[in-house]
Amino acid sequence: MPPAELFEIVGWALACSVPVVIVGAAVIRLARSWSLAVSMVALVLIPVLATFTGVLGASGSMAPGAFERTAVVLVVVSIVTIPAAVMLGRYQARRTVWEAEIRDSERAAEQSRRQLVAFVSHDLRTPLAGIRAVSEALADGLVPADEVAVHAKQIEHESVRLSEMVDDLFEMSKINAGAMTPSFDKVALDEVVDDVLAAHRIAAERAGVQLRADLPAQPVRVRGSDRALVRVLSNLVANAIAHTPTGGRVELSLGSDGDSAWARVDDTGVGIDEADLPRVFDVAYRGSNNRVPRADSSLPSGSGLGLAIAAGLVQAHRGTLTARNLAHGARFEVRLPLAD
């Protein structure tokens, strides 16, 4: 082929294909906000179009029939490569989303672990320091004989509190590790409520809080673990009692609508600060509204993990747990799928 003819073919090919490449680069730059599948299609389509236009521009210098054969080849290649690009783009998009979700999950787990460690180091120190101080005073004979029983009772209360905290930490660690797999049976929520009321009736009376239930005429049945659901509602009731002043009321009610059952714990307490609502179920998040002071120091003080454990157990039951303020107090609502 003479050099002049070669230069003419190259010139026409560049003149027709370079603008397509420039436009394609601008399209890809704009495609940052598009889906990954669309971007992959653009990446495949732009070289094909650039090649096609380049061949079209140089077709005048080609041998008779050469352009037609080249055009057929380009069309066939486009039919094969563009669908392949769509499938690869979708796969890559899903993979990117999966990897991002895994990274976010790992970061959240690490953050939760750090919060849990910080919480443990802080909250376990207080009861341990109290037990140590009272024990040393008893051992050194600094406590009068008539006060020994009182201090021994204090040690017992702190030991019970430590035991409850350790149990909660173990439960929380299983939830964070994704090892919470409750055995699913048909459970009547009204029976769960009876167990919760029996467990908290004395504590409510000692706190001066009225504890009552509003149950429907027909049993409300869900699929789940009765032990885990007792733990969920028990944690919510204990939290409500702790934040309700003397003379207040805590009410546990049940019902169903559609294909879901609900259990609500309403109180007439101090409510939840609006800024705390999005984080009320976070591990060890205390918020700005503290518990109501009690004169009776033997009342359960909780581990600070109750709401986080309740949220984890409800999630393991494929349900939801929400919190919102009422006109007076707060409402925690558990929603679970109804049993078939």
Q: Are 157 and 279 part of one and the same domain?
A: no
**Do 89 and 149 fall into the same domain?**
no
Counting every residue written for the chain, the total comes to 340
Q: Are residue 205 and residue 326 in the same domain, yes or no?
A: yes
C-alpha 155/C-alpha 161 separation (Å) is: 10
Whether residues 166 and 246 fall in one domain: no
Do 337 and 299 lie in one domain? The reply is yes
* pTM, 2 dp: 0.57
pLDDT in tens, 20-48: 677 777 776 766 666 666 666 666 667 76
Q: Do 25 and 145 belong to one domain?
A: no
Tell which of 152, 179, 206 closes a domain.
179
Residue 113 forms part of a structural domain: no
Tokens of 212: 């009552």
- Interhelix angle 66-123/36-58, rounded to 10 degrees, is 160
The pLDDT value recorded for residue 334 is: 95
pLDDT above 90: residue 53 = no
Q: What is the CA radius of gyration of the chain?
A: 34
**Tally of domains within the chain:** 3
pLDDT of residue 306: 80
Are 321 and 281 in contact by the 8 Å Cβ rule? The answer is: yes
Instruction: Tell me the pLDDT band of 278, cut-offs 50, 70 and 90.
Output: confident
Do 91 and 130 belong to one domain? Answer: no
| Whether 209 and 317 share a structural domain | yes
Calculate the alpha carbon distances from 146 to 150, 151, 273 in Å. Answer: 8, 10, 45
Is residue 115 situated within a structural domain? no
Looking at the fold, whether 173 and 200 belong to one and the same domain comes out as no
What torsion, rounded to 10 degrees, do the Cα atoms 233, 238, 244, 248 define?
A: 70
Closest CA to 313 of 208, 235, 209: 235
Does an H or E element contain 23, and which? Answer: helix 3-30
- The CATH number given to whatever domain includes residue 203 is 3.30.565.10
- Place 284 in a pLDDT band, splitting at 50, 70 and 90: low
- Residue 321 burial (10 A CB sphere; 0-12, 13-18, 19+): buried
The answer as to whether 119 is a domain residue is no
- Give the domain extent around 27: 3-100
Task: Identify whether residues 168 and 78 lie together within a single domain.
Answer: no
Note whether 277 and 162 are same-domain residues.
no
In DSSP terms, which residues pair with 261 in a beta bridge? 256, 336
